Amino acid sequence: MPETVAAAVTRTPSGRLALAASPEPIALGPLDGRYQSAVAPLVDYLSEAALNRDRVAVEVEWLIHLTNNSVLPGAGPLTADQQEKLRDIVTEFDAAAVTELAEIEAVTVHDVKAVEYYIGRRLPAIGIERLTALVHFGCTSEDINNLSYALGVKGAVEDVWLPAASGLVAQISAMAEETRAVPMLSRTHGQPATPTTLGKELAVTAHRLRRQLDRVSKTQYLGKINGATGTYAAHVASVPGADWQAVSQSFVESLGLTWNPLTTQIESHDWQAELYADVARFNRILHNLCTDVWSYISIGYFRQIPVAGATGSSTMPHKVNPIRFENAEANLEISNGLLDTLGATLVTSRWQRDLTDSSSQRNIGVAFGHSLLAISNVAKGLLALNVAEDVLAADLDTNWEVLGEAIQMVMRAEAIAGVKGMENPYERLKDLTRGQRVDAARMQEFVSGLGLSPEAEARLLALTPGKYTGIAEQLVDHLR
């Protein structure tokens, strides 16, 4: 009987089977594992593969731009067919291309140089192998990288993050409209305060979030292509008669980006810091909504709709936990930790260039991924809520003391109008209400004994905590 050879088994130092040796890749991070489906759209913009595809796109478009404008003698415009085939290198970029690029990089130990060689391999099939030297002409790696990152971030924001964030704000706005007239006890410093409406409070959050979306939507995505230290030195030395600034500007703008005329070797990344600050601010406002909704759930203002088959607790079967909002809180905090770090570090580069930004920028997708995951969780969490109007009404009815503000202000107005006996209104209401529960009967008895004008007395006697909401309902109209 032939001797069998057992397959080599890899184990950890503790003797367990090494999961890293599994034939199927196992994700290290949650965004590529547990939550992959929620953030999958970002892969097309902010993954390493997407970065390489954008690098290929920038190199291809630079070659076409140089030839179309006859910038270099002997390199005139390409035919329409040649241009189409060059662009096919980008549109047909697939998993096999990712693998081939990785194999080239394993030799070059340089990611952008690998892209240059990858494109060069394909020029003979297009019939333009004589232009191989034009690939990456006059460029430093950062010329390609800054444009590629700008394109990736722009696409991720405009095609994925903004639509998701805008959809959530529209959802919150719709909730505000639906609950605009639902009275609710306010709490300032955690204590009962002047009533509002649930819709008005949701409208405040929607308005705040909209302002940040407006800022994000106006982001300028800057780019440069000006050589090793931003001086066009190699460009001028090789082709002194070209207007290289005009060539650079027209190219950057043809990509849908804003030209940055003054840089070191790197585009300064200030626009990135500005964008990440705005996204982080959106995250923080959304985090505030999560903690408020969580608290409202805990006091019964919202009832959670149970999901069939779902488990709230492994031991307490009655529980329906606000996990969507808790999950969102954590992911918003992680996102902001990264966004804040990116914003703080990317604006600094030693002298004309250091490589700290190279590692930092590879986490842009992670930062947006955690934000996108949080947005998804909040949207799902809000869909699973019912407003407990009976609980809100009962809370108002046990806090008649909040009418103390209205009564003392009416007394002030009466005093100004010449009604006698309206002295010390604040102090009199303070004695009646501070730290005390006051029911409807006691409050109305107090009002009746003040000696107000008949019209003012009638107005106050008709007032209840549920009706003391000012123009809260009308304020929701500002969302329109």
Residue 261: how many other CB atoms lie within 10 Å: 12
Per annotation, catalytic residue among 14, 189, 314, 359:
189
Tens-place pLDDT, residues 137-195: 999 999 999 999 999 999 999 999 999 999 999 999 999 999 999 999 999 999 999 99
Radius of gyration of the chain (CA): 32
CATH number of 400-464: 1.10.40.30
Q: What does the pLDDT average to over 274-296?
A: 98
* Amino acid, res. 275: L
> Domain spans of the chain?
42-138, 142-393, 400-464
For 175-186, the three-class secondary structure string (H helix, E strand, C coil) is HHHHCCCCEEEE
Residue 403 tokens read as: 């009418």
Q: Respond yes or no: is residue 287 known to be catalytic.
A: no
| pLDDT of res. 1 | 44
Q: Give dist(CA 92, CA 185) in Å, integer.
A: 59
Q: Give dist(CA 124, CA 126) in Å, integer.
A: 5
Domain 42-138, CATH number (from 1.10.275.10, 1.10.940.10, 3.30.360.10, 3.40.50.720)? 1.10.275.10
For the chain, the distance separating the N- and C-terminal CA atoms, rounded to the nearest angstrom, is 83
Q: Respond yes or no: is residue 313 known to be catalytic.
A: yes
| pLDDT of res. 415 | 95
Tens-place pLDDT, residues 113-129: 999 999 999 999 999 99
Q: What is the widest separation between alpha-carbon atoms in the chain?
A: 116
Q: Give dist(CA 252, CA 236) in Å, integer.
A: 19
Q: Give dist(CA 223, CA 146) in Å, integer.
A: 6
**Cβ(475)–Cβ(203) under 8 Å?**
yes
Check pLDDT > 60 for residue 314: no
Helix 95-108 vs helix 111-120: crossing angle, to nearest 10:
120
pTM of the model as a whole:
0.93
- Specify the fold of 142-393: Fumarase C; Chain A, domain 2 (1.20.200)
Q: Burial code of 272-288, b = ≥16 C-beta within 10 A, e = fewer?
A: bbbbbbbbbbbbebbbe
Tens-place pLDDT, residues 393-441: 999 999 999 999 999 999 999 999 999 999 998 898 888 888 888 899 9
Q: Give dist(CA 53, CA 45) in Å, integer.
A: 9
Cite the beta strand spans of 260-361 per DSSP E: 302-304
Residue 35: how many other CB atoms lie within 10 Å: 20
Residue 450 tokens read as: 């003040």
Per annotation, catalytic residue among 238, 298, 313, 358:
313
Band (pLDDT 50/70/90 cuts) for residue 313 is low
Check pLDDT > 80 for residue 297: yes
Band (pLDDT 50/70/90 cuts) for residue 105 is very high
Band (pLDDT 50/70/90 cuts) for residue 310 is low
| pLDDT of res. 277 | 98
